[in-house]
Amino acid sequence: MAKNDLIGGALFEQYSNIVNQRMDNPLNRGEITEEEAEAMGTKLIVADFGAESCGDAVRLYWAVDPETNVIKSSKFKSFGCGTAIASSDMMAELCVGKTVDDAVKITNIDVEMAMRDHPDEPAVPPQKMHCSVMAYDVIKKAAAIYKGIDIAELEEKEMVCECARVTLSTIKEVIRINDLTTVEQITDYTKAGAFCKSCIKPGGHENRQYYLVDILAETRAEMERERISAAIPTTSGALPSSPEQFERMTVVQKLKAVEAVIDENIRQMLMMDGGNMEVLDIKDDGENIDIYIRYLGACSGCASSATGTLYAIEAVLRDKLSTKIRVLPL
């Protein structure tokens, strides 16, 4: 057994029997030679992939029927921890009998699910889920070689969750369609953040470009801005003509400008939901213009008042007046 699959001193207690068996006795480890592929009337494809984060590497062999694009045989060679070996073994098995296009749809979630003893019990601990990411990537590489295209044409852009292979566009779409308000709901709907959890918020074992907490906040703010824009026409009135003009105003002048933007773009929408807001103070330290507000009515107890609604108010004020503005509820 691989020593680096020891978790907290417990030997494979969080691993399924299938994983343990395939660590020791993988069923599809080996190679396919040119002679073997030719004897089957197939085209040999060999693809390599290495995971920089953990040093694991895998080589995937496919024997593909050029007439039907069906993978007749699939083998692998793997260097790395036991989880990587077991995942690669299952990945190779899942490819057999599929067309190349269908094989590309295999994700590491499919691999992990196939290694479970019971549908509701994970096959590997969350922190080892990344070991099966190689399966998804080496399949794409093999498919790109077979099709004679660049792998980038098969890759989804802006991947947020490497474990579940969930993209930024998918997460934002799910939030919008289902009106999601919590990270837990995102995980329930997409599995993003269900495994190693590094994509949930900063501070995980891997630095990410996107985090679920930020995507949720930004998407909710976009939704709120769109709702406000759709319901209320915007007029310029006597607003300052530039951010610089606003920033040179006195506190009283700033207050009037802020109130004008709120009246034209925000207040009516809050009132439609039984709420309202008032500006309590404005403080300008040269770097930031802090606008202190208080929610009234239904807004004072609304869960989104500290997230989506707040971000929307701040975004409108920053867009209309100055990017230095920060909105702080009291």
Which residues are marked as active site? Answer: 54, 131
CA-to-CA separations, 54 to 5, 100, 128, 131, in angstroms, rounded: 12, 28, 10, 8
The one-letter code for the residue type at 132 is S
* 51, amino acid identity: A
Distances (CA, A) of 99 to 59, 89, 301, 305, 316: 19, 18, 54, 50, 50
Ramachandran bin of 195, using left for φ above 0, alpha for ψ from -120 to 50, beta for the remaining angles: alpha
CA distance 15 to 122: 8
Distance of alpha carbon 64 from alpha carbon 62, whole angstroms: 6
Residue 251 phi, psi dihedral angles, 5° rounding: -60, -40
Q: Which helix (H) or strand (E) segment is 279 a member of?
A: strand 275-284
Strand partners, 278: 294
Binning the chain into helix, strand and coil, the percentages to the nearest 5 are 45, 20, 35
| Distance (Å) of CA 97 to CA 137, 181, 318 | 19, 41, 56
Those residues whose C-beta lies under 8 Å from the C-beta of residue 291, and which sit 6 or more positions away, are: 258, 279, 281, 282, 317, 325, 326, 327, 328
Q: In this structure, what DSSP letter does residue 298 have? A: G
Give the residue from 170, 167, 174 showing the smallest Cα distance to 199: 167
